[in-house]
């Protein structure tokens, strides 16, 4: 079941496009915003509202790397693993994160505080290595800086 608020936001997006299904990515984003991730149950509810099959919607949902089809932590760490960050040593940052959080790429801490994911180029190449946590971008990273940054996220 979608909440009234979710339906209101989705219908607002549907009104902006000439074909109902064109708003399905927005619908996925809206539900993920409210629930943190898109479960099978959520997917079926969105598909019904969008007048699409759940399979078709899932083919869209699984195409885009920032729609989560598995539960994620309260804070999402996206570590850039692209070329400029490779040259500037993102692997050391990754090692440090693994040591601190005891998780690898694709994993979530048991207390659901953090999910760690690799992410392509964040467009901060002149200040590599870089990562994002939720809405915030951190650049010119060092292991020392990282220790302080992580403390901000509970």
Smallest distance from other proteins to CB 29, Å: 6
Q: Are strands 136-138 and 131-133 parallel, antiparallel or unpaired?
A: antiparallel
Which residue lies nearer to other proteins by CB, 75 or 82? 82
Closest CA to 141 of 103, 90, 100, 102: 90
Smallest distance from other proteins to CB 15, Å: 12
What span, in angstroms and rounded, lies between the C-alpha atoms of 11 and 137? 31
Which residue lies nearer to other proteins by CB, 87 or 143? 87
Which residue lies nearer to other proteins by CB, 115 or 124? 124
Q: Are 133 and 73 in contact (CB under 8 A)?
A: no
Instruction: Using CB atoms within 10 Å of the CB of residue 50, give its burial: 0 to 12 exposed, 13 to 18 middle, 19+ buried.
Output: buried
What are the residues binding other proteins (CB under 8 A)? Answer: 16-19, 21-26, 28-29, 59-60, 63-67, 78, 81-84, 86-88, 119-128, 132, 135-137
Smallest distance from other proteins to CB 150, Å: 19
């Amino acid at each position: 079941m979608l909440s009234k608020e979710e339906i209101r936001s989705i219908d607002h997006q549907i009104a902006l496009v000439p074909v109902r299904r064109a708003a399905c990515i927005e619908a996925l984003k809206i539900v993920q915003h409210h629930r943190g991730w898109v479960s099978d149950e959520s997917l079926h509810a969105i598909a019904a509202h969008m007048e699409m099959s759940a399979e078709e919607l899932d083919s869209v949902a699984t195409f885009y790397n920032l729609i989560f089809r598995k539960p994620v932590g309260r804070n999402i760490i996206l570590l850039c693993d692209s070329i400029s960050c490779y040259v500037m040593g993102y692997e050391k940052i990754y090692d440090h994160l693994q040591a601190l959080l005891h998780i690898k790429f694709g994993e979530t801490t048991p207390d659901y505080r953090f999910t760690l994911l690799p992410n392509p180029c964040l467009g901060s190449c002149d200040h590599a290595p870089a990562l994002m946590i939720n809405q915030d971008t951190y650049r010119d990273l060092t292991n020392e800086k990282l220790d302080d940054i992580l403390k901000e996220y509970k």
